[in-house]
Amino acid sequence: MGDERDGFERRLREARVRQGLDKPAGSTGGLPTGPWGIGFRAGVEVVSALVVGVVIGLLLDRWLGTWPWLFLLFFVAGSAAGILNVYRLFSPRRGRSE
């Protein structure tokens, strides 16, 4: 019974890898391949962090009536978060074994 289960799990794992649902055992995740993929991901990181910061700042300013101070504060915070995300994207990971 245990032998059948191990065989089934092995075949299921191989089928998932073949279909692209799981990564092969030797592959590492992380950066997309090619310069377009890396550039697109870096751009998305910066823009999304900036948009989140601006939206939070606008909503808080509108709610508290402190225009433009919280907008400016969260704009700067979103910019810093986007730059930090890109830095993390390109910095090598230490101490992780994947």
Helix, strand or coil for residue 23? coil
Give me the pLDDT at residue 98, please.
47
The per-residue pLDDT for range 32-46, each reduced to its tens digit, is 778 898 899 999 999
pLDDT under 70: residue ranges of the chain: 1-2, 23-31, 95-98
d(CA 98, CA 45): 23
**Taking the model in full, what pTM does it have?**
0.64
* H/E segment holding residue 88: helix 69-90
pLDDT of 27: 56
The full length of the chain comes to 98
Q: Is there a cis peptide before residue 68, judged by omega within 30 degrees of 0?
A: yes
Say whether 65 sits in a helix, a strand or coil.
Answer: coil
